[in-house]
Amino acid sequence: AQRVTQPEKLLSVFKGAPVELKCNYSYSGSPELFWYVQYSRQRLQLLLRHISRESIKGFTADLNKGETSFHLKKPFAQEEDSAMYYCALSGHNFNKFYFGSGTKLNVKP
Amino acid sequence: DVKVTQSSRYLVKRTGEKVFLECVQDMDHENMFWYRQDPGLGLRLIYFSYDVKMKEKGDIPEGYSVSREKKERFSLILESASTNQTSMYLCASSQDRKAFFGQGTRLTVV
């Protein structure tokens, strides 16, 4: 069965420090992986997807099929990055999205 | 920009009431979803619909039903609300595997 695991509920870093939000998945096939972000009092929105191989707001994520991971990274965290981050997976039935439990990122000044 | 609109931001209902949560999207998406969002549990899929009158159960459908009579509208129904259904409910629509979310409805069942 499909599963998305985000082991950290809360991650606190200082401004300018590197940040890595972990995501591991299990899926019997080739899924598509996403990161969604929810800023305070805003709706959940797509941050990036692995097939795009792009950097959004300085964040990148690489799909590692061997480790079944899709960690989100940013070399220098900013205060405005403070938000809730969800890793998500879409599988063979591309109609469905499965989400992890979320990691709250707190970037301290 | 895709707009997904949920009819209420906040709702307070009594135990046993029948509750309707409405969601409308304006981009002609075929797929629509209802999730509930709880701290520490993330988003859990209740139901989704891939076309008008077509629906499929998600991971936690018990106590819920849905209706999709028109492509743009997807309704979540709590047949008899219970306190354990107090939660944030998120509606989404998707196209090309990009999901767009509504602002959420915080439902409190007392």
What is residue A2's predicted lDDT score, i.e. its pLDDT?
79
**DSSP strand pairing (B10-13 vs A103-108):** unpaired
Compute the average pLDDT of residues A27-54: 89
Give per-residue pLDDT as tens, B72-105: 999 999 999 999 999 999 999 998 888 999 999 9
Counting Cα atoms < 13 Å in the Cβ hemisphere of B13 gives 25
Contacts of B33 in chain A (CB under 8 A): 96-97
- Which two tokens mark A42? 């805003």
Give the model's confidence band at B22: pLDDT under 50 very low, under 70 low, under 90 confident, else very high: very high
Q: To the nearest whole angstrom, how far is the Cα of A81 from the nearest Cα of chain B?
A: 19
Q: A65 or B35: whose pLDDT is higher?
A: B35
Q: What is the chain B residue with the closest CA to A96?
A: B48
Residues of chain B found within 8 Å of residue A50, distances taken between Cβ atoms: none
- Higher-confidence position of A1 and A64: A64
Rounded-to-integer distance, Cα B91 and Cα A53, Å: 27
Nearest by CB to residue B41, choosing from A94, A97, A101, is: A101
Given a cut of 90, whether residue A84 has pLDDT beyond it is: yes
B43 with A86: Cβ contact below 8 A? yes
pLDDT in tens, A53-77: 788 899 999 889 899 999 999 999 9
Listed in order, strand segments (DSSP E) in chain B are 4-6, 10-13, 19-25, 31-38, 42-51, 54-57, 64-70, 73-78, 87-95, 98-101, 105-109
User: Which tokens is B102 given?
Assistant: 């509504």
- Give every CB contact of residue A41 below 8 A, 6+ residues apart in sequence: none
Strand partners, B95: B98
Over residues B13-25, the mean pLDDT reads: 97
The reported pLDDT for the residue numbered B19 is 97
Which 3-state string (H, E, C) describes A38-76?
Answer: ECCCCCCEEEEEHHHCCCECCEEECCECCCCECCEEECC
Residue B2 confidence (pLDDT): 63
